[in-house]
Amino acid sequence: MFENIFKKKSASKLIETNEVDVVLRLMFEIAISDGSLDKAELEIIKKRASEGGHKDENVSKTIKRIIDETQNSVSFYPSVKEINDTYSFEEKKELLSALWSLITADSVVDAYEENLYFKIAELIKIKRSLANQIKQKNS
């Protein structure tokens, strides 16, 4: 009886069902950290949602759900935990690259966005020096 309660889902199943949503949540956190959601940032988020297997008609619903969830949450720790539990080192680097591309989408690097980028890097266990290299490579 109790074995099902404590049974963990396999990592591959978590990635399949939640990977895009986790990335979209972090992208949205970064995008709004400067106080506004720029049109260029929204387009990148929409593109990521559509690449993640969401059908065109569901992309808007997915974006709305992610926005609602992000605005109602007090922490992005669950997203970071899921990344640490399921992402490889290379996937984490690719995530940081995507986040930095989002930050530079509006051609303005806001201090809040940059600080959040480095905080996320720290939380997903990527050294600041490597996060800085990823930033420089994508600038």
Q: Yes or no: say if 24 and 66 are a contact pair by the CB < 8 Å rule.
A: yes
3 state SS of 52: coil
Q: Are 53 and 20 in contact (CB under 8 A)?
A: yes
Query: What are the boundaries of each domain within the chain?
Result: 19-137
Sign of CA dihedral 24, 31, 100, 50: positive
| pLDDT (0 to 100) of residue 87 | 94
What was the pLDDT predicted at 55?
Answer: 57
Q: Average pLDDT of each block of 10 consecutive residues along the chain (139 residues)?
A: 38 45 88 88 88 68 82 81 95 96 92 95 97 94
Letter for the amino acid at 34?
A: D
Residue 46 to residue 40: CA distance in whole angstroms: 10
CATH fourth-level superfamily of 19-137: TerB-like (1.10.3680.10)
DSSP state string for 109-124: --HHHHHHHHHHHHHT
